[in-house]
């Protein structure tokens, strides 16, 4: 049975990242990703973690949607949609009258139209340049 909850272990989070071919981190860093998030949702089928999303928010105007992952065996069943909608609604719940928050994300290549369904705009556009990023990587000890 599919259930949504807020608990995920660092190992489960890394396993989900691995499942979709994303960069893995040391467990200590994975734990920080979980503990420091404004919200985490984990989807389980019985006990097994099959999806995750992380929402970061500074409480001010900057919010970031990260790690929208659904186990490939469970994709196409509306789980990704629920994860994104839950994140947006959690953010709205925390906003006070008059607040303006910029919610951004880095779309994986080819997934832009998935996010456009929730109001995200592809960049570059008339107002904004392309998103920019870089990885900072420390050598292992
Ligand atoms: C992208 C991802 C999260 C979608 O999850 P999902 O559970 O399969 O998506 P849903 O079944 O909830 O689909 C929601 C809607 O998005 C559409 N959609 C799903 N995957 C899509 C894709 N890759 N591209 C465009 N649209 C997509 C669906 O058709 C559906 O549309 P509808 O509601 O209008 O019928 C999932 O494919 C995934 O985990 N991929 C690997 C990791 C990844 O790339 N994550 C996003 C990175 S930023």
Helices (H), the chain: 10-19, 27-35, 79-94, 112-116
Asked if pLDDT for residue 132 goes beyond 90, the answer is yes
69, β-bridge pairs: 52
Closest among 15, 85, 87 to 51, alpha carbons compared: 15
User: What is the residue-averaged pLDDT of the chain?
Assistant: 97
Which pLDDT value is given to residue 97? 98
Average pLDDT of the residues in 92-112 = 97
Q: Do residues 58 and 13 lie in contact, with contact meaning Cβ atoms separated by under 8 Å?
A: no
Asked if pLDDT for residue 141 goes beyond 90, the answer is no
Question: All domains of the chain, ordered by start, with CATH?
Answer: 2-103 (3.40.630.30)
Average pLDDT of the residues in 51-73 = 98
Asked if pLDDT for residue 14 goes beyond 90, the answer is yes
Asked if pLDDT for residue 140 goes beyond 90, the answer is no
How far away, in angstroms, is 135 Cα from ligand 1 center?
Answer: 25
Q: What is the number of other CB atoms lying within 10 angstroms of the CB of residue 53?
A: 26
Ligand 1 contacts CB of residue 18 (under 6 A): no
Average pLDDT of the residues in 13-32 = 97
Handedness of CA 121, 123, 128, 130 (dihedral sign): positive
How far away, in angstroms, is 114 Cα from ligand 1 center?
Answer: 5
């Amino acid at each position: 049975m599919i259930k949504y909850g807020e608990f995920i272990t660092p190992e489960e989070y890394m396993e989900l990242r691995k499942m979709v071919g994303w960069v893995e981190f040391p467990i200590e860093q994975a734990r920080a990703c979980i503990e420091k998030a404004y919200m985490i949702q984990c989807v389980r089928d019985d006990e097994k973690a099959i999806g995750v999303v992380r929402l970061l928010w500074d409480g001010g105007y900057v919010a970031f949607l990260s790690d929208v992952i659904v186990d490939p065996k469970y994709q196409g069943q509306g789980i990704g949609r629920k994860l994104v909608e839950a994140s947006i609604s959690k953010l709205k719940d925390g906003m006070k009258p008059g607040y303006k928050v910029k919610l951004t994300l880095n779309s994986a290549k080819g997934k832009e139209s998935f996010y456009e369904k929730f109001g995200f705009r592809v960049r570059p556009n008339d107002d904004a340049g392309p998103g920019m990023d870089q990885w900072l990587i420390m050598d292992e000890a």
